[in-house]
Amino acid sequence: MKRVRNWKRLDDETKSYSELSIEKGKIVDLALVAYCYDEFGGERQFVRWDCAHGGFHKDKLYEKRQGKEEYPESMSLEDKYDEASRDLENGWRHYKKLFILNHIKGGKHG
């Protein structure tokens, strides 16, 4: 099995990490995580997509109650990864802002 790992800087205080496990040319496991810094300079996850604890889902760490959004089992992991990547690209600023407002005191957001 091949693992593909990638870090991407989203802005000066925000980055994302992806890890894909590929077998026979198909994604068999994946994680996509966005991080920001807290008021103490520590890295904090504010949104995460992964296959942990069952099927592929989005952990909405930015919400006060930190909900979970499940993806349809009928979708391939490749399609789920594409959709999650688009969601991250289009929504990370909003998710980060909500995370800071809901979970970090004295934080700054862009």
- Give the chain's radius of gyration (CA, Å): 14
Separation of CA 68 from chain center: 12
- Beta strand pairing status for 2-11 and 43-50? unpaired
pLDDT of 43 above 90: yes
Residue 106 has pLDDT above 70, yes or no: no
Mean pLDDT across 91-110: 82
105 or 92, which is more confident: 92
**Residue range 60-95, pLDDT digits in tens:** 999 999 999 999 999 999 999 999 999 999 999 999
Regarding predicted confidence, which is higher, 27 or 109? 27
Q: Which residues pair with 20 in a beta bridge?
A: 4, 30
Q: What is the pTM of this model?
A: 0.90
The answer to whether 22 touches 2, Cβ cutoff 8 Å, is yes
Domain coordinates in residue numbering, the chain: 2-103
Say what the pLDDT of residue 26 is: 95
- Of 19, 29, 33, nearest to 62 by C-alpha is 33
